[in-house]
């Protein structure tokens, strides 16, 4: 069983929901990420989504765009992101790591080389924002052959047919993008999410993580009541942005927010 | 070629290029758009309305002009200019925006968005939006806003909101990113009019089909005026919409050479250029697989060209395919050479070309003397140079 499947099964047995922080690798500088990953696990993270910086992050709002820009200034890359993940795995065998990014850095490396490198780094899942199932066949086959879960997105306007397609192509979990827009935008509408989740559940048995628009502990708690996991990204990265000269303080603030979310989700 | 050219396939692939590389939220609107485009392309009423608009509003057909003096001066092939600069708004861009705006209207969309580089597509979009009474927002890189301020003013006069994009390299690619972000946020009421043959399927095919009027007219005009097909076609390539518009109706005419001219900026060897077909490699950006300017890690690198309209790190996927199959040839022209082309056409024929089109003119100056006097080159004069007066004056140290 994959590390992701095991994690969601274990959570489901204890009636808890997955807390899934997203951070961009190398933001604000390369040596910040590894200790942050370990600290996030201590704060209660169940899965870590590690963002691969890209020069043209079309689906991201300004906060994550700037995180990519900061990381790229320090020459962060897919290769170096994989190296961080491999380093993390040396001392943490439990927590699944999901790479999240855009397809071009993977194309540049070559699908097969990437799949091999991800396997060596013991990556558990790969979420490629701009690679829908129609274009993903080759990549998905290579990942699945190495027991790496391809994670797909669902959107508020996804039809039954699309959800079934994601269910067939994906594994690990499905990521429900809870609002039409880019990361970090607006506030999600709980009633809308609840309605959509019913439709999604009717078409898949995969766990569903919900992201986009989760800003605080209260929202995390509400969303946790609807899905199997909560993804939080921009709200964490804005702590990095708010403390440009004090990364340690940024880290403390990220951890405080995650601890508050964990408590709210478990209460 | 014995088999008739029939690209793309139903999922928008030109061989390994093209496709639909977008985030999930954009899949439903793209499918909706594709369905509408397939339906109306075969709808006689829609096509009649489009034809009427192209004739009475855009001013088509545009002339095919025999540049006799320039041809004599260069001493080789006969040069014919396809005068897209004479269209309403001054460039070929409006052929496409008229078509897409009619589609938007049929689809019940009330809001139009667009990206623009030189501002020609932005102006052409703001124009059709004004005419149809639709809300219009145009995304433009902050660098381009500064170097094309005249077009920014034109768009504002036409009632469009112009958003200066401050992210990334602040040019056309970043404007496209921002327009995609807007679309993902406002998918319900918004129609995204992409200005070139890039983006996810069906845009590359749809924009080509709307621009193919250039080549259809030119082919017939050449037969009428010269009694034969041309020997070569020359057009500048940024995203590549005027080039594909000219080339497409000639693809099955194997005797007609097709040459796309990319922007070499300071020179290919300097790395400061916008020539992905000549010096890039395949990758995925803005919804399709094509040749890109990127580093070894797959990060898109900054491009350079004196012409804002060619300053783009990608190129339409169909051009990538035509390059690989050898059906078209792609060459490049530096900023300095483009300026020579600009002055030559201006002084020899009394026509001031856009800096984008000047790249095609500059290559024609190299090509024509190598050909025989009874051979024919059709060059796409994709836009007029009025918008570039500030850039030219600045470059030549003149105060306006």
Locus of tokens 């004739």 = B55
Of residues A62, A104, A181, nearest to B285 (C-beta): A104
Mean per-residue pLDDT, B126-153:
94
Of residues A102, A132, A185, nearest to B185 (C-beta): A185
User: Hey, what CATH topology would domain B59-90+210-396 get?
Assistant: Rossmann fold (3.40.50)
Mean per-residue pLDDT, B382-399:
91
The tokens describing B103, both together, are 């589609």
Which helix (H) or strand (E) segment holds residue A190: the answer is helix A190-201
Locus of tokens 């037969």 = B223
> Which parts of B149-198 fold into alpha helices (H)?
149-157, 172-185
Architecture of domain B13-55+93-202: 3-Layer(aba) Sandwich (3.40)
Q: Do A134 and B20 touch (CB under 8 A)?
A: yes
Helix axes of A78-91 and A111-120: crossing angle, nearest 10 degrees: 20
Calpha distance B140→B170 (Å, rounded): 8
**Which residues of B are part of the catalytic machinery?**
93, 115, 382
Beta bridge partners of A231: A20
A61 at interface of B, judged by CB pairs closer than 8 A: yes
How many structural domains comprise chain A? 1
Of residues A56, A65, A108, nearest to B297 (C-beta): A108
Domain that holds residue A195: 3-266
For residue A263, give how far its alpha carbon lies from the nearest alpha carbon of chain B (Å): 32
Mutate to test the interface with B, among A130, A138, A185 (most CBs of B within 10 A): A130
For residue B324, give how far its alpha carbon lies from the nearest alpha carbon of chain A (Å): 18
Calpha distance A34→A31 (Å, rounded): 7
What value does the CA radius of gyration of chain B take, rounded to a whole number of Å?
19
Mutate to test the interface with B, among A66, A105, A135, A175 (most CBs of B within 10 A): A135
At B2 the pLDDT is 54
A156 at interface of B, judged by CB pairs closer than 8 A: yes
Residue-range domain boundaries for chain B: 13-55+93-202, 59-90+210-396
At B148 the pLDDT is 86
Calpha distance A171→A227 (Å, rounded): 16
A102 near A128, Cβ under 8 Å?
yes
Characterize the bridge pairing of strands B281-285 and B287-292. Answer: antiparallel
Q: What is the pLDDT of residues B50-94, one digit of tens each?
A: 999 999 999 999 999 999 999 999 999 999 999 999 999 999 999
Characterize the bridge pairing of strands B376-381 and B232-236. Answer: parallel
pLDDT band at B1 (very low <50, low <70, confident <90, very high): very low
The tokens describing B45, both together, are 């009423």
Q: Helix, strand, or coil here: A208?
A: strand
The phi, psi pair for B332, rounded to 5°, reads -140, 155
Characterize the bridge pairing of strands B190-192 and A174-177. Answer: unpaired
At A183 the pLDDT is 78
B287 at interface of A, judged by CB pairs closer than 8 A: yes
Cross-sheet strand order for the sheet of B17-21: B13-14, B17-21, B287-292, B281-285
Q: What is the pLDDT of residues B313-372, one digit of tens each?
A: 999 999 999 999 999 999 999 999 999 999 999 999 999 999 999 999 999 999 999 999
Query: What is the ipTM, given to two decimal places?
Result: 0.95
Give yes or no for residue B234 having a pLDDT over 50: yes
At A164 the pLDDT is 97
A81 at interface of B, judged by CB pairs closer than 8 A: no
Q: Do A78 and B297 touch (CB under 8 A)?
A: yes
Mean per-residue pLDDT, B234-254:
98
Calpha distance B324→B320 (Å, rounded): 6
More confident residue, B171 or A87: A87
Q: Do A58 and B286 touch (CB under 8 A)?
A: yes
Q: Do A132 and B22 touch (CB under 8 A)?
A: yes
Mutate to test the interface with A, among B284, B290, B293 (most CBs of A within 10 A): B284
Tell me which residues of chain B, numbers 192 to 231, contact chain A at a CB-CB cutoff of 8 Å.
Answer: none
At B308 the pLDDT is 86
Mean per-residue pLDDT, A88-100:
98
B286 at interface of A, judged by CB pairs closer than 8 A: yes
Mean pLDDT for chain A overall: 95
B180 at interface of A, judged by CB pairs closer than 8 A: yes
Q: What is the CATH number of the domain that holds A72?
A: 3.20.20.70
Q: What is the pLDDT of residues A117-163, one digit of tens each?
A: 999 999 999 999 999 999 999 999 999 999 999 999 999 999 999 99
Query: What's the sign of the alpha-carbon dihedral B77, B82, B86, B92?
Result: negative
Contact list, B29 vs chain A (CB under 8 Å):
157
Give yes or no for residue A188 having a pLDDT over 80: no
Comparing alpha-carbon positions, the chain B residue that sits nearest to A53 is: B299
Mean per-residue pLDDT, A35-47:
98
């Amino acid at each position: 069983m994959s590390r992701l499947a095991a994690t969601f099964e274990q959570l489901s047995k204890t009636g808890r929901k997955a807390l899934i922080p997203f951070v961009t690798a190398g933001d604000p500088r390369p040596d910040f990420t590894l200790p942050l990953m370990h600290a996030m696990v201590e704060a209660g993270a169940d899965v870590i989504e590690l963002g691969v910086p890209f020069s043209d992050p079309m689906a991201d709002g300004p906060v994550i765009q700037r995180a990519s820009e900061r990381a790229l200034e320090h020459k962060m890359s897919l290769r170096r992101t994989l190296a961080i993940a491999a380093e993390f795995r040396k001392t943490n065998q439990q927590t699944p790591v999901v790479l999240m990014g855009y397809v071009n850095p993977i194309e540049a490396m070559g699908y097969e080389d990437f799949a091999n490198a991800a396997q060596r780094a013991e990556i558990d899942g790969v979420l490629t924002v701009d690679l829908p199932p129609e274009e993903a066949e080759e990549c998905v086959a290579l990942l699945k052959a190495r027991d790496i879960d391809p994670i797909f997105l669902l959107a508020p306007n996804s039809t039954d047919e699309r959800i079934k397609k994601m269910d067939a192509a994906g594994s690990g979990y499905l990521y429900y993008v809870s609002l039409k827009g880019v990361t970090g935008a607006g506030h999600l509408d709980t009633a809308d999410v609840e309605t959509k989740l019913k439709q999604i559940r009717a078409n898949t048995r995969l766990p569903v993580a919900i992201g986009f628009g989760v800003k605080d502990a209260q929202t995390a708690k509400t969303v946790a009541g609807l899905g199997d996991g909560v993804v939080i990204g921009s709200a964490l990265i804005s702590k990095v942005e708010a403390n440009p000269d004090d990364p340690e303080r940024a880290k403390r603030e990220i951890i405080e927010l995650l601890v508050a979310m964990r408590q709210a989700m478990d209460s | 070629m014995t088999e008739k050219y029939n690209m793309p396939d139903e999922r928008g692939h030109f061989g390994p290029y093209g496709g639909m590389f977008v985030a999930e939220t954009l899949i439903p609107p793209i499918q909706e758009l594709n369905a509408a485009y397939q339906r109306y392309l075969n709808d006689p009423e829609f096509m009649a309305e489009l034809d009427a608009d192209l004739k009475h509003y855009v001013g088509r057909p545009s002339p095919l002009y025999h540049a006799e003096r320039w041809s004599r001066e260069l001493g080789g092939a006969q040069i014919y200019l396809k005068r897209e600069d004479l269209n309403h708004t001054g460039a070929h861009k409006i052929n496409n925006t008229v078509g897409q705006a009619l589609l938007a209207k049929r689809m019940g969309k009330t809001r139009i968005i667009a990206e623009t580089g030189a501002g020609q597509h932005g102006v052409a979009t703001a124009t059709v939006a004004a005419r149809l009474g639709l809300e219009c927002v145009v995304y433009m890189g902050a660098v381009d806003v500064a170097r094309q301020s005249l077009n920014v003013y034109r768009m504002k006069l036409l009632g469009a909101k112009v958003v200066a994009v401050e992210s990334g390299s602040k040019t056309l690619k970043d404007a496209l990113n921002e327009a995609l972000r807007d679309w993902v946020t406002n998918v319900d009421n918004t129609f995204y009019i992409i200005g070139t043959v890039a983006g996810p399927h069906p845009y590359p095919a749809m924009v080509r089909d709307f621009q193919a009027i250039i080549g259809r007219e030119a082919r017939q005009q050449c037969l009428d005026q010269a009694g034969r097909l041309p020997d070569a076609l020359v057009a500048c390539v940024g995203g590549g919409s005027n080039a594909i518009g000219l080339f497409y109706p000639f693809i099955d005419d194997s005797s007609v050479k097709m040459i796309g001219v990319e922007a070499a900026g300071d020179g290919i060897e300097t790395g400061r250029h916008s020539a992905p077909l000549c010096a890039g490699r395949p990758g995925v950006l803005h919804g399709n697989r094509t040749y890109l300017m990127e580093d070894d890690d797959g990060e898109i690198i900054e491009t350079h060209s004196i012409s804002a309209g060619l300053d783009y790190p990608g190129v339409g996927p169909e051009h990538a395919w035509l390059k690989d199959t050898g059906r078209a040839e792609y060459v490049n022209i530096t900023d300095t050479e483009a300026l020579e082309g600009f002055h030559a056409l201006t002084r020899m024929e009394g026509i001031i070309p856009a800096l984008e089109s000047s790249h095609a003119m500059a290559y024609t100056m190299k090509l024509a003397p190598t050909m025989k006097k009874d051979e024919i080159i059709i060059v796409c004069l994709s836009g007029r140079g009025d918008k570039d007066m500030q850039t030219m004056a600045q470059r030549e140290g003149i105060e306006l």
